[in-house]
Amino acid sequence: MKEDKKFADKEEQLVDQLIGEQRLVEDYLGERARIYGAERAILVDLYTPRSTERDRRETLIELEALAETAGIPTLAVITQQRDRPDPSFFIGRGKAGEIKAAAATVGADVIIFNDPLSPAQARNLEEKIGLKIIDRPQLIMDIFAQRATTKEAQLQVELAQLEYLRTRLRGWGKALTRLGGGVGTRGPGETKLETDRQKIADRLYRIKQKLLKVKQERKLRGKWRSSSTLPKITLVGYTNSGKSTLLNMLCAEQSLVEDKLFATLETMVRRTALTDGRPVLFIDTVGFIRDLPHSLIPAFAATLEAVRSADLLLHILDGMNPSCADQHDTVIQILDEEIFTDGEKRPPIITVINKIDLLPANSLPCPALFADAVSISAAQRINLESLQNKIALLLAKGEREMNLLFPFRCLGVLEQMYSAGRVLNQHHEKEGVKVRVRVKESDLVSLRNAGVILLD
């Protein structure tokens, strides 16, 4: 078996060598090269007359935070109001000239747009301004390329970037060749104008084959979670809403917490007990964001599975963010469109407004929309017990206490009940073990079929 694996690994290395000249430039620089700290950006945002001042301010703050997360300092911000984007330049030819002059004045290396650009718009802007042009989806993909640590996430991000860049090779070839990489090119890397599309297709095929292997490995690693009888509580929410901080406080853990977008890109699972003593699994997931590139959704594979298989969802909101309601709607939209299908049974959701310690007294956001929400401060441990009590009540919904007799041949089933934290007390009898448990009506049929005797 080991010899077969060694042969397969050797064969894969040989194939990689044979297609070496088909690889992209960044492959030669080293996997996930990140030596672009000198790049500096001008941010560009287009808004319509219907946009409010607050909306414009918040979207620019988020774009600047994305750039900072990617390691790119912002030198200037340029905005334009138009009824609709220009089909050729997105912002119009005159504004493009203004950006070119501003870039020369401040010494910018890259122009980052707050909206997706078509291949033609990106090409025209590059030729007009003479600098690398990056749009919001590519910036988000670049952050994922920097921060993804699992093999599957790295491959999935590279796949998304290559598919995104494939239609833009002609438009961005000159700038990428001249600038030698940088923000927006991590992962698949520097794609020159003369790169043949068939070589890109070969690279895409290789990545998809590797993804099939790592997905099988992930299924094996995650088997224990799907078979666990413990209730699974999954934390979802907008990026940087405080999910990891809450996980740390609830489970006495020390997982990574940063005041950055996408600080957590891997799903984390922690076991703890609620206030009623019930053992549960808390699962932290990747944060969502507005205009998340659809091609990146597969990179959320572990998050999607954790959400679908959850017994309960905690939707964490940043209460101090003025766009709290909009961020709530963004997360719900992603759940509706990307995770759950129509008619699919969904777990109940508890809305949790976080960071209330940073808000003035009695100034919670959108009281009408979030009337049933639990208000907490994860960092200051405010109202965490109230949150746990509400979780316990929801998990206990539909349960009732019963006396059951587990014959000795059914002790395996009793062990599962213990693992799930459902056993309240027990007494050894001549026929087996008599226990008082919390069970749901839906469990009774399977318990009877397993040979368990109902005493009530």
DSSP string, 30-57: -TT----TT--EEEEEEE-TT--HHHHH
The pLDDT, as a whole number, for residue 218 is: 64
Distance CA 315, CA 332 (A): 9
Are 211 and 285 spatial neighbours (Cβ–Cβ below 8 Å)? no
b/e map 152-184, b = 16+ CB within 10 Å:
bbbbbbbbbbbebbbebbebbbbbbeebebbbb
Contacts of 52 (CB under 8 A, 6+ apart): none
Q: Are 293 and 137 spatial neighbours (Cβ–Cβ below 8 Å)?
A: yes
Is residue 77 predicted with pLDDT exceeding 90?
yes
pLDDT at 103: 94
Q: Is pLDDT larger for residue 21 or for residue 454?
A: 454
Alpha-carbon gap, residue 142 to 184, rounded angstroms: 5
What length does the chain have? Answer: 456
- For the segment(s) 223-395, the CATH number from 3.30.2450.30, 3.10.129.10, 3.40.190.80, 3.40.50.300 is 3.40.50.300
pLDDT value of residue 388: 93
Of 73, 68, 14, 66, residue with least CA distance to 40:
73
User: Would you say 378 and 242 are in contact if contact means Cβ atoms under 8 Å apart?
Assistant: yes
Could you count the other beta carbons within 10 Å of the beta carbon of residue 134? 27
Backbone angles phi, psi at 377, to 5 degrees: -125, 105
Q: Which two tokens stand for residue 417?
A: 């009940």
Query: Phi, psi at residue 98, to the nearest 5°?
Result: -65, -40
Task: Decide which of 3.20.20.10, 3.30.70.240, 3.30.9.10, 3.50.50.60 is the CATH code for 399-454.
Answer: 3.30.70.240
In this structure, are strands 432-440 and 423-428 parallel, antiparallel, or unpaired? antiparallel
What whole-number distance in Å separates Cα of residue 290 and Cα of residue 220?
32
**CATH number for the domain whose boundaries are 13-217:** 3.40.50.11060
Specify burial of residue 409 (Cβ count, 10 A radius: 0-12, 13-18, 19+).
Answer: exposed
Q: How many whole angstroms separate alpha carbon 135 and alpha carbon 129?
A: 15
Choose between 6 and 147: higher pLDDT: 147
Q: How do the domains of the chain map onto residue ranges? A: 13-217, 223-395, 399-454
Amino acid 123: pLDDT: 86
Under the banding of pLDDT at 50, 70 and 90, the label for residue 343 is confident
Distance (Å, whole) CA 46 – CA 91: 7
Query: Is residue 353 scored above 70 in pLDDT?
Result: yes
The residue type found at 139 is L
Compute the distance between CA of residue 276 and CA of residue 278 in angstroms, rounded to an integer.
Answer: 6
* Angstrom distance (rounded) from CA 258 to CA 248: 13
Question: Which range, 119-133, 224-238, 249-263, is most confident?
Answer: 119-133
Please give the Cα distance from 76 to 302 (Å, whole number).
37
Is residue 67 within 8 Å of residue 112, measured between CB atoms? yes
For residue 72, the 8-state DSSP code is -
- Could you tell me which of 223, 261, 263, 260 has the C-alpha nearest to residue 247? 263
Are 119 and 50 within 8 A, CB to CB?
no
How high is the pLDDT of residue 191? Answer: 43
Which is more confidently placed, 389 or 303? 389
Measured distance CA(426)–CA(403) in Å, rounded:
9
- pLDDT beyond 70 at 287: yes
Same fold, 13-217 and 223-395: yes
Other CB atoms closer than 10 Å to residue 324's CB: what's the count?
Answer: 22
pTM here is 0.75
Ranges of beta strands (E only) in 368-413 are 374-375, 399-407
* pLDDT over threshold 50, residue 21: no
Q: Which residues contact 223 (CB under 8 A, 6 or more apart)?
A: none
pLDDT at 212 over 60: yes
pLDDT of 3: 52
Of 417, 376, 373, 392, which Cα lies nearest the Cα of 275? 392
Q: Which two tokens stand for residue 424?
A: 């309240």
Q: What Cα–Cα distance (Å) separates residue 348 from each residue in 321, 373, 391?
A: 25, 13, 10
Cα 415 off chain centre by: 35
The winner for highest mean pLDDT among 251-260, 298-307, 351-360 is 351-360
- Check pLDDT > 60 for residue 188: no
Strand partners, 407: 432
Q: Which residue, 297, 39, 302, 76, is CA-closest to 186?
A: 39
Is 60 exceeded by the pLDDT of residue 334?
Answer: yes
